[in-house]
Amino acid sequence: MILDRQSRINTGELKARLKAVNFDDGRFPAEEITEFVDLMQVYEGAMYEISTKLEILDSEFQVRFAHDPIHHMERRLKSVNSILGKLERKGLPLKVNSIRDNLFDVAGVRVICNYRDDVYSVSNYLSAQSDISVLRVKDYIKNPKQNGYRSLHVIYAVPVFLSSGAHYTPVEVQFRTIAMDYWASLEHALRYKTDLPDSRLSEHSQTLLDCARSLQNIETQMQNIHRDINGAPQVGEA
Ligand code: GTP
Ligand code: MG
């Protein structure tokens, strides 16, 4: 199952949004609007290419091993406002070239797996595919963030074939388990909850850190049961 976090790109609407940004404060050069819209269409293509590859891997696992490694996927393109906001935060010029050269998360796919083993097997099989390349890996499962966040982030470069030929386009893929996703959703909600007093926010952050550790333990125990049922070695065994 794939959840689209927004509808397909509508060129007219995107142009209207860019124009609105432009009229408001003249931040984005009007002459680059068409190029921006074209670029977003390429990012959309790259996002579909990656999610199709993942669906094919998932169905192969179902057929061969009667196991679904992927619970579900979510995908989204960064909104115009987030793209421009990120360029501004990084002190980069608001131009199409700066998006192309500096932003690697315009196209994003989140892959939610049942178990940690699935996270690594799906990501390894995808990374080994000969038509795509791995640009960057951040493994927050092996090295969780201080707040307790865990996920495996991989940026892929994917060829998107247009009438003009192949355009290698980055897609950020976040692989995580259901438990990691459950945790990250609440932590994300807390991050944007600015109207709580600081003392409550830090109390909740501490509780979330404890929850992250508990979830990690539960996950290991459940992973071990799953491995035992399937005759695989236990976590921690050679
Ligand atoms: P930015 O994209 O500018 O954040 O930098 P980056 O690409 O180097 O960041 P990173 O790969 O560490 O994280 C990118 C994405 O992962 C974020 O946009 C979030 O979706 C997710 N993420 C990273 N850290 C956290 C976290 O602490 N909590 C939650 N809920 N999500 C996180
Ligand atoms: Mg990012």
Q: What is the pLDDT along the chain (238 residues), one digit of tens a residue?
A: 888 887 777 777 777 777 777 655 667 787 888 899 999 999 999 999 999 999 999 999 999 988 899 999 999 999 998 999 999 999 999 999 999 999 999 999 999 999 999 999 999 999 999 999 999 999 999 999 999 999 999 999 999 999 999 999 999 999 999 999 999 999 999 998 888 888 899 999 999 999 999 999 999 999 999 999 987 766 654 3
Q: Which atom of ligand 1 is nearest to the CA of 89?
A: 3
Gap between the Cα atoms of 56 and 229, Å rounded: 25
Cα 152 to averaged position of ligand 2 atoms, centre (Å): 13
Query: Cα of 104 to ligand 2 centre, how many Å?
Result: 7
Q: Which residues pair with 139 in a beta bridge?
A: 152
Q: Which pLDDT score, from 0 to 100, does residue 238 have?
A: 38
Cβ–ligand 1 contact at 5 (below 6 Å): no
Q: Which atom of ligand 1 is nearest to the CA of 108?
A: 20
Mutate which of 82, 87, 105 for ligand 1? The one with the most ligand atoms within 8 Å of its CB, which is 105
pLDDT of residue 22: 65
pLDDT of residue 2: 85
Of 172, 187, 219, 237, the catalytic one is 172
Entry field: residues in the chain? 238
Q: Is the CB of 43 under 6 A from ligand 1?
A: no
pLDDT at 195: 85
The pLDDT value recorded for residue 237 is 46
Euclidean distance between CA atoms 202 and 197, whole angstroms: 9
Tell me which residues have their CB within 5 A of the ion that is ligand 2: 105
187 lines ligand 1 (CB under 6 A): yes
162: alpha, beta or left, given left = phi > 0 and alpha = psi -120 to 50? beta
Contacts 24+ apart (CB under 8 A), 152-155: 152/119, 152/120, 152/123, 152/176, 154/123, 154/126, 154/127, 155/104, 155/105
pTM over 0.95: no
Residue 172: active-site member: yes
**What per-residue confidence (pLDDT) applies to 106?**
98
**Ligand approaching nearest to the C-alpha of 89:** 1
Is 54 exposed, middle or buried (CB count within 10 Å of its CB: 0-12, 13-18, 19+)?
buried
Ligand 1 atom nearest to 187, measured from its CA: 30
Find out whether the beta carbon of 138 lies less than 6 Å from any atom of ligand 1.
yes
**Termini Cα distance of the chain:** 34
147 Cβ below 6 A of ligand 1: yes
